[in-house]
Each structure stands twice: as structure tokens, then as C-alpha cells.
Amino acid sequence: MAYEPQHTARIALVGERSAGVQAHVRIPRLLDAVRERDGLLIEAYWIPTDEVGQGLQGFDGVWLVPGSPYRSEAGALAAVRSARESGVPLLATCAGFQHMVLEYARNVCGLDGARHAETDPAADDPLIMPLACSLAGHEAEVNVTPGSAAARIMGTTRGQERYQCAFGPNPAHTGVLEAAGLRFTGRDDEGQVRIAELPGHPFYFGTLFQPELSGDGTRPHPIVSAFAAASFASPAHFAR
């Protein structure tokens, strides 16, 4: 697809920016690399979670970045909900993925009591729980569902990805989320959820791994490239 160079996509990077978080350093560089390689003009803006308010009007894409606990859980969830309900492309990685799942549980499945163990360690049955083995600093295989958006974007049904997390979805509750329409299209070799997507949405994609940590940081992971392209083609972009 050919894009007119005068158009610019505005992407909200939601999270508390820190030079000490490798993902935060890499993400703007990767978006610059997408622009140079694919000719997509992209402007990225950092939005702290406590400044999200009730939505992110005027943005063509939302990336809920790693870096939990967020300053405002409510703000992180509001960013996800705004993108989900308005059809704006959403990419949620690592802690972003965890909060994407949490938002869906509360606002689509009606599980008002769904909790994240990192911010509510006393929760009896958290939706997001500590992993049996922390994946922080590890690489691991991901099995991707054939025919899914994940398989199409990544160009494979099995890949090795990098993690920096210690929490993930509670397997006891994933069936409820799937019954409500969320698809888990990536799992590890033990069957634990690693990728989620939402059919019918222009781009609603979450990964427990961090595609922004792939390689040496100079070549965008296919997921990052797909998110940038979806943001550029988003209806919000052309409505301005």
C-alpha cells in the first residue's frame, strides 16, 4: 500500500517513561526505524498513566508500554478501554498485556473483582498472578495459532521471544475471557498464554513478551511494524 508522505500518525506511548527501562529507550528508536524503512510518518507522545483521563482522543494508535506497577492502574485501564471501544489500534506489551487482559475481564466479562497480584498481593484469586517461574531477562518459545492474526503478522507459528516479566494471566480464568470473545493465540510449550488478540477490531494485540527487545534494537519486530501500519491506516487518522 502506498501512503501519502504528508500524513502523520500520532501514537500515544502510555506509561511512566524511564531511561532505566530498556523498552522505553528502544521503542521511540524502533518507530523511527519503521518510518525510515516503510515511509510511515509517525509522531510518538509519552502519556503518563495518571494523565490519561477518560480517553486518548486525537491519537491514531495506543501502545501500553512495559513498566509496572503503573502510577495509575485506572489510567492504564482507561487507555485500553478507550482504544478497544473506539477501534483505535492498540499494542500492549508485558505489563501492558497484563492490563489489557484485566480491562477486558472487568469491562467486558463483568468481573468487577478481577485483580492484579502485583498491585493487590492480598487478592485471594487474582486474574493476573505471579508466574511459577519468573521470565524476567529470559527468552522462550511461543507457539502461535495457525490462521490467527498473530501468525499472519509474525509470519510463523513458532518463535523465540524475549521477556522481562514475573506476572501473567491466571489459567483458571482464561476460559471466561475466551468465551467473551478474546482470543489467546500464542502459548508457551506448557500451554500458558503469551499472546491475545480481539477479532473484529482493527488492531488489538497484546503480548506477554516484549517484541521491542527483539534483536539489537535496529530492526522492528513484525508486531511493531504491523502496529505502526495499523495506526497509520486508522480511521481516527483520516478523520482529522
What would the DSSP string read from start to end of 216-237?
TSSS--HHHHHHHHHHHT-HHH
Q: Would you tell me the crossing angle of helices 22-38 and 222-232 to the nearest 10 degrees?
A: 60
In this prediction, residue 132 carries a pLDDT of 84
pLDDT at 64: 98
CB-CB contact of 125 with 100 (8 Å): no
pLDDT at 62: 98
Ranges of H-type helices in the chain: 22-38, 73-86, 95-107, 149-154, 174-179, 222-232, 235-239
Span 9-239: which CATH code? 3.40.50.880
Contact yes or no for 46/220 (Cβ under 8 A): no
Tens digits of residue pLDDT in 72-130: 999 999 999 999 999 999 999 999 999 999 999 999 999 999 999 999 999 999 999 99
Pairing of strands 90-93, 42-47: unpaired
Q: What is the C-alpha R_g of the chain?
A: 16
Instruction: Report the DSSP beta bridge partners of residue 69.
Output: none
pLDDT of residue 135: 87
Which residues make beta-bridge pairs with 193? 187
**Residue (of 202, 211, 212, 206) closest to 237 by Cα position:** 202
Torsion angle (degrees, nearest 10) of CA 119, 120, 126, 129:
50
**Which residue ranges of the chain lie beneath pLDDT 70?**
1-6, 54-55, 235-240
CB burial class (10 A; 0-12, 13-18, 19+) of residue 202?
middle
How many angstroms separate the CA atoms of 94 and 74, rounded? 17
Please report the pLDDT score of residue 235 as a whole number. 64
What phi, psi does 222 have (nearest 5°)? -55, -30
Task: Give the CA distances from residue 5 to residues 34, 87, 129, in Å, rounded to whole numbers and listed in that order.
Answer: 14, 24, 44
Q: Which of 8, 61, 76, 31 shows the shortest CA–CA distance to 202?
A: 61
Residue 239's pLDDT is 47
